[in-house]
């Protein structure tokens, strides 16, 4: 083993758990400690301003800028008491991460000194450089002005010494340059459309909220081993590496005992997350070695998205306290499961009704069926768009790999709900069969109580599965911003609900009974969206063929999948719901294609560098030792015996020569192919070229490197191997 590799591996194996300071209070007592939540607002604001701000947060009332100064003063007072010295507008640019610029709470006092200052103007609006963030050509380099604007619906919070104010980010000309602005518009659109449909069943409904519960999967690796792998360091995944003899095939890691060091990391992460108001609840081992998951209690969608972005940053920070690096890449290791971020999504009214849950009366069940069928229609009409919303260069490694949903959007409903929908579709009467929520199941084991069985099973191969009172969008990638999927889904449903109400109202105006009109439109839509309903094995080749026959989007090239954003029905939907304009969509696609190209470009450069500066020199060095051994054998033994004893080494010498020659030749070819692709002016064409030509070359080069790893002397191999990376001691 090389000295460096031996040193880092030995250090990793000797790591001991870090002691975590456990708060003396119960979690409920320190939950939200660093959040300017409603309780803090009530304490630090006047009753009049508090009432106005709560109306903005809860009811979407217009923000009265006249209250901004008092809100800023109260927020500043609380933040300074908590030890904050700076503030920042915290937003989600089109980089999959977050952005922040810190300013101190200081201004000249006019007497030669300084004073703490934070005004309503600074709270409401700041001016980041819009041309320095991805913008798809909306901003030229010399047109830098952009604005970040306060989002009161997501509470401010403190990280270290900085007050973070969640904001949207827009260009000087008004186009959104982030994820939050269109997300808020999509949530507003689905709120209005869903509320209008709810009035068929309950005129008292004033608001419908979209709820999100994300499940964050991730890997942990020892920091020293991570630093010794340049590919992990620069791309987030291993670009080479033969799988270990043992990985996940024994299925012994999933839900297994959490390693002690990992448990210490999880404990600190949960404590800090709770202090920031993130209601984390679940933690466990995932399927692959070194893979884990955490999940929170469900929250309003906008807040849940902010909390997911915050938790990913928190994970990276706290992991280093424990000698780990957290990997959020969807596929950091070949041969074991990658990581996703299941988005559990539902709708609920301000009257406390979950719209995706069955009821106890016929009217409640009609409401349930109405929203289920409209959701299926939205997913069917825009299945390609929903796939585009979760597609990326990194998530492409995971989708369809028999570990995640296939790259075809379909919806699993389960036996009971499928039977109900079939009954409604085939019936010409205005009757409804009853739906049960959970049924009892008695086991012949006296000490085990009666179990409540959900009215639907789970289908891990379905990208969009109904799971009892919600849909689980399982195809979202682990490092993605949840907002991308939520923008597409909520916008599509807003359009569908609006069209549904229009058609029902038209029948009612013709004299048809309300229930009969609703059922007529539901029956029609059930026939239309039937192709999206699939309860079988999404991994099978038969399903791929069947999906194509059904007219579903079966494209697998990520750059081509992005075309769905610019289809006329997608543009019409986004414009009709007021979420994004054609110009914004065109700009975002430019960013998506450019981001895809850059990620593959970086990976190709790193792979070429490692191949030429690590792999080939090490393999050649080992080959030289083998050659030396053959010469020495020939000098020690008679020719016939020497040839027999050296036969295996000669085979290895030839194999190393062939594989290193292949690697060198294809690295050179890959460089030339990149040069050709880089000259293309069109961002889409460039991304397609990288997908079609560069990615396959990288796979071919990796194959030969991984074969060399099995041949070359372990003591010479410079890079930590999977058997060292994937098992935390």
- To 10 degrees, the CA torsion angle through 143, 305, 377, 362? -150
Output the pLDDT for position 340. 95
Output the pLDDT for position 431. 55
Closest CA to 297 of 359, 250, 344, 244: 344
pLDDT at residue 589 is higher than 60: yes
Instruction: Report the DSSP beta bridge partners of residue 222.
Output: 324
Output the pLDDT for position 387. 97
pLDDT at residue 714 is higher than 50: yes
Most confidently modeled of 17-26, 468-477, 491-500? 491-500
What average pLDDT score do residues 649-657 get?
Answer: 94
Q: What angle do CA 122, 81, 88 make, to 5 degrees?
A: 30
Task: Please indicate whether residue 443 or residue 276 has the higher confidence score (pLDDT).
Answer: 276
Closest CA to 611 of 336, 241, 331: 241
- φ/ψ of residue 126, rounded to 5: -135, 175
Total residues found in the chain within this entry: 729
pLDDT at residue 455 is higher than 80: no
- Over the Cα atoms of the chain, what is R_g? 29
How does the average pLDDT of the chain come out, rounded?
A: 91
The Cα–Cα gap between 487 and 385 comes to 11
Q: How far is CA 675 from the centre of its chain?
A: 32
Output the pLDDT for position 454. 54
What are the tens digits of pLDDT across the range 543-555? 999 999 999 999 9
What average pLDDT score do residues 677-704 get?
Answer: 97
pLDDT at residue 676 is higher than 70: yes
Question: Is residue 378 a contact partner of residue 491, using CB atoms and an 8 Å limit?
Answer: no
**Residue 705 CB partners (closer than 8 Å, separation 6+):** 240, 611, 615, 663
Output the pLDDT for position 615. 97
- φ/ψ of residue 542, rounded to 5: -60, -35
Secondary structure of 587-622 in HEC code, one letter for each residue: HHHHHHHHHHHHHHHHHHHHHHHHHHHHHHHHHHHH
The Cα–Cα gap between 595 and 487 comes to 19
Q: What is the DSSP string of 402-431?
A: SSS--SS--EE--HHHHHHHHHHHH--SS-
Tokens representing 2 are 């090389």
Instruction: Indicate the pLDDT class of residue 93, thresholds 50, 70 and 90.
Output: very high
**Residue 48 CB partners (closer than 8 Å, separation 6+):** none
Output the pLDDT for position 461. 81
pLDDT at residue 202 is higher than 50: yes
Instruction: Indicate the pLDDT class of residue 3, thresholds 50, 70 and 90.
Output: low
pLDDT at residue 342 is higher than 50: yes
Task: Please indicate whether residue 233 or residue 402 has the higher confidence score (pLDDT).
Answer: 233
**Residue 696 CB partners (closer than 8 Å, separation 6+):** none
What average pLDDT score do residues 472-491 get?
Answer: 97
Quick one: angle between helices 616-636 and 695-711, nearest 10? 40
What are the tens digits of pLDDT across the range 284-338? 989 889 999 999 999 999 999 999 999 999 999 999 999 999 999 999 999 999 9
528, exposed or middle or buried, with CB in 10 Å at 0-12, 13-18, 19+? middle
Tokens representing 77 are 């007072």
- φ/ψ of residue 144, rounded to 5: -95, -20
Output the pLDDT for position 20. 78
The Cα–Cα gap between 518 and 524 comes to 10
- How far does the chain reach from its first CA to its final CA, in angstroms? 19
Output the pLDDT for position 440. 47
Which of 71-80, 159-168, 236-245, 429-438 is predicted with the least confidence, judged by mean pLDDT?
429-438
Q: How far is CA 386 from CA 211, 408, 458, 493, 532, in A?
A: 18, 10, 20, 11, 12
CB atoms within 10 A of CB 556: 17
182, exposed or middle or buried, with CB in 10 Å at 0-12, 13-18, 19+? buried
**Residue 285 CB partners (closer than 8 Å, separation 6+):** 253, 254, 255, 256, 257, 258, 291, 292, 293
The Cα–Cα gap between 469 and 609 comes to 50
What average pLDDT score do residues 368-390 get?
Answer: 97
Q: What is the pTM of this model?
A: 0.93
Helix (H, G, I), strand (E, B) or coil at 543: helix
Output the pLDDT for position 710. 96
Q: What is the DSSP string of 300-338?
A: EHHHHHHHHHHHHHHHHHHHHHTTEEEE--S-SSTTS--
461, exposed or middle or buried, with CB in 10 Å at 0-12, 13-18, 19+? buried
Closest CA to 685 of 584, 562, 564: 562
The Cα–Cα gap between 308 and 178 comes to 16
Question: Is residue 156 a contact partner of residue 136, using CB atoms and an 8 Å limit?
Answer: no
Which of 165-174, 344-353, 579-588 is predicted with the least confidence, judged by mean pLDDT?
165-174
The Cα–Cα gap between 330 and 724 comes to 20
Which of 42-46, 255-259, 445-449, 693-697 is predicted with the least confidence, judged by mean pLDDT?
445-449
pLDDT at residue 42 is higher than 70: yes
Q: What is the DSSP string of 613-677?
A: IIIHHHHHHHHHHHHHHHHHHHHHS-HHHHHHHHHHHHHHHHHHHHHHHHHHHHHHHHHHHHHHH
């Amino acid at each position: 083993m090389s000295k460096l590799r031996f040193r880092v591996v030995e250090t990793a194996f000797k790591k001991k758990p870090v002691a975590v300071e456990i708060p003396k209070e119960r979690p409920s007592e320190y939950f939200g400690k660093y959040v300017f939540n409603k309780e803090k607002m009530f304490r630090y604001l006047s009753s009049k301003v508090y009432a106005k701000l709560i109306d903005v947060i809860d009811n979407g009332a217009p923000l009265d800028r006249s209250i901004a100064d008092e809100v800023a003063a109260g927020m500043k007072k609380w933040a300074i008491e908590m030890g904050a010295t700076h503030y920042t507008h915290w937003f989600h640019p089109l980089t999959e991460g977050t952005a922040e610029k810190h300013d101190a709470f200081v201004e000249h006092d006019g007497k030669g000194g300084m004073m703490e200052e934070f005004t309503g103007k600074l709270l409401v609006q700041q001016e980041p450089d819009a041309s320095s963030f991805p913008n798809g050509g909306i901003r030229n380099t010399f047109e830098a002005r952009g604005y970040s604007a306060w989002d009161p619906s997501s509470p401010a919070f403190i990280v270290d010494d900085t007050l973070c104010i969640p904001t949207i980010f827009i260009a000087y000309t008004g186009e959104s340059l982030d994820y939050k602005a269109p997300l808020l518009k999509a949530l507003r659109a689905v709120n209005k459309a869903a509320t209008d449909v709810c009035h068929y069943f309950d005129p008292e409904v004033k608001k419908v909220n979209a709820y999100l519960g994300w499940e964050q999967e991730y890997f942990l690796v020892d920091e020293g081993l991570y630093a010794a792998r340049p590919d992990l360091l620069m791309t987030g995944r291993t670009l080479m590496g033969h799988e270990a003899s043992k990985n996940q095939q024994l299925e012994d890691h999933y839900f297994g005992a959490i390693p002690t060091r990992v448990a210490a990391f999880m404990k600190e992460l949960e404590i800090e997350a709770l202090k920031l108001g993130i209601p984390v609840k679940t933690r466990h081992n995932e399927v692959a070695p070194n893979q884990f998951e955490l999940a929170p209690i469900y929250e309003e969608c906008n807040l849940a998205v902010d909390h997911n972005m915050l938790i990913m940053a928190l994970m990276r920070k706290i992991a280093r306290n424990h000698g780990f690096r957290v990997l959020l890449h969807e596929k950091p290791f070949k041969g074991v499961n990658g990581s996703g971020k299941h988005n559990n999504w539902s709708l609920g009214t301000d009257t406390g009704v979950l719209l995706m849950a069955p009821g106890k009366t016929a009217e409640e069940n009609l409401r349930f069926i109405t929203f289920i069928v409209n959701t299926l229609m939205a997913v069917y009409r825009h299945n390609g768009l929903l796939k585009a919303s979760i597609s990326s260069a990194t998530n492409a490694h995971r989708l369809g790999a028999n570990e995640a949903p296939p790259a075809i959007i379909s919806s699993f409903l389960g036996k009971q709900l499928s039977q109900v929908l079939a009954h409604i579709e085939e019936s010409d009467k205005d009757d409804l069969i009853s739906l049960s929520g959970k049924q009892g199941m008695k086991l012949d084991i006296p000490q085990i109580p009666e179990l409540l069985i959900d009215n639907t099973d789970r289908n891990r191969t379905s990208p969009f599965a109904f799971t009892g009172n919600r849909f689980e969008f399982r195809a979202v990638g682990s490092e993605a911003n949840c907002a991308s999927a939520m923008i597409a889904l909520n916008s599509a449903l807003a359009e569908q609900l609006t069209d549904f109400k229009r058609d029902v109202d038209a029948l009612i105006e013709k004299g048809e009974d309300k229930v009969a009109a609703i059922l007529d439109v539901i029956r029609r839509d059930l026939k239309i969206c039937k192709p999206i309903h699939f309860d079988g094995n999404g991994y099978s080749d038969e399903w791929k063929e069947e999906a194509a026959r059904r007219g579903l989007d079966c494209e697998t090239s990520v750059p081509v999948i992005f075309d769905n954003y610019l289809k006329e029905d997608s543009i019409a939907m986004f414009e009709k719901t007021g979420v994004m304009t054609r110009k914004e969509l065109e700009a975002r696609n430019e960013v998506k294609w450019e981001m895809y190209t850059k990620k593959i470009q970086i990976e190709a450069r790193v792979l070429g560098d490692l191949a030429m500066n690590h792999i080939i020199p090490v393999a050649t060095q080992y080959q030289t030792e083998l050659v030396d051994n053959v010469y020495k054998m020939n000098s020690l033994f008679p020719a016939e015996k020497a040839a027999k004893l050296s036969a295996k080494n000669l085979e290895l010498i030839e194999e190393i020569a062939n594989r290193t020659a292949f690697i060198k030749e294809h690295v050179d070819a890959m460089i030339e192919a990149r040069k050709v692709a880089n000259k293309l002016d069109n961002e889409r064409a460039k991304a397609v070229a990288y997908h079609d030509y560069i990615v396959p070359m990288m796979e071919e080069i990796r194959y030969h490197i991984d074969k060399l790893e099995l041949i070359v002397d372990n003591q010479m191999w410079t890079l930590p191997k999977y058997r060292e990376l994937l098992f935390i001691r």
